[in-house]
Chains A and B, each alone.
Chain A
Amino acid sequence: MRPTKQFATPPRRVALFVTCLVDMLYPEVGLAAAELLERHGVEVVFPYEQTCCGQPAFNAGFRDEARALARRYLDVFEPFVQQGMVDAIVAPSGSCTAMVTHFYSVLFEDPSMAADQQRAEALAAVTFELTEFLVDVLGVTATGARLEGKITYHASCHLLREMGIDRQPRTLLANVEGAELVDLAGHDECCGFGGLFSIKNPEISTAMGRRKCLNLEQSGADAVAVCDVSCLTHINGLLSKQAQRIRAVHIAEILNSQVDVAETPAEPQRDEAASSTSKPPAEGGQPRRWQDVR
């Protein structure tokens, strides 16, 4: 599909591009992603200067603003790659990865920005979405996760169509022990978030989301795995308001065995001491509940 770096030996260290939504709203997703990588022999570095990839500005048509943030991303991450401090950049988000790997080249399309275009291309070649990195680069197909319950999978739009990533998350989910993977009608249909679309066209966005929630209900799943917290926020926002039982969970948390899907949800805040362990929940260990918004 897209040109990515072929690693002669497995990458040893990556920079985590955590994304602003995960950073501020779902930090446990970032921690789960980091833990997953570490458990598979990859050291994780976090460049603190990172903020936002610029996608909201780009999608709204504010290309100058988006370009400024794109250049900032390049300024922040490039040194880590160029100086050999990291072999790759990994993000727990399909849409943010798509922004870097596909849409930065749109921002720098004009011939006058050829230099930035080259920088963007170079960085795009080593920027990966989490499941893409696990499966395609590290060759991981099972993360040792254990889960009781039925899970299904919603394919986020940018992940599926811009990045062409679908087989990878499904493979990883299929190998979660104990979990029953069930089909979701309309699994590749948009959840209706679409960024600012959810506010500019709230009625349409809600109608699309409700259709997704209905399909989720009918799937019989206890939880739906998603690779993007944008979809997750929209879906959970509707499910919670509509008092439906099923919840959307980020795939990183499922693959890191952070979640007990069959139990009813409890408080959102995670136990900090527990976050530094990387063992799956076992007897004596408190199974962690996924973030729930009541």
Chain B
Amino acid sequence: MRDLMHKAEIQQLVRDAYAAIQFPAAAGAVLYSREQLGQLPPGAHEWSLGVGNPVAWAALRPGEVVLDLGCGGGIDTILAARAVHPGGRAVGLDLLPEMLQRAGEHAADAGLDNVEFIEGEMEAIPLPDATVDVVVSNGVVNLSARKTRVFHELARVLRSGGRTSLTDVIVDDHLPTEILTHPSAWAG
């Protein structure tokens, strides 16, 4: 059994796993309301890999700036962009160029002009301090091997009075070592 605790190795493993996904997946589409799914362009829900619905809990308001950490196919970014219109904008951040390209296509298909997608790591968010009103993420914090850094970064980019809505997988009970050290369990 391999021990995959090395940070760079974990990041590469996650990157490779996401790059290899055969879409359509639509794994997380059941987690959205009918109204939310209706706000997405055709086919976008098939790129849903989230584990929850953080935008639904974010209480977004027109005019706000939202950052979607690990935006993937851009589902939550698009929903956020619609919620902060008019006057606001949504920024999707992801590590994978292929995900960002698809997310950009989805936003274009949705006819949105208040969305931006940027490539980068959630451990080093390429945004200035105190420029974001709300940070959302959907099942991605657990993928980081440097979570403390992720939390520092999201706090850094938030404005005073800013908010977060973070959905993630939580493991409180002890799972067998054979499961937790399986390479697939680092990306899933």
**A, B bound:** no
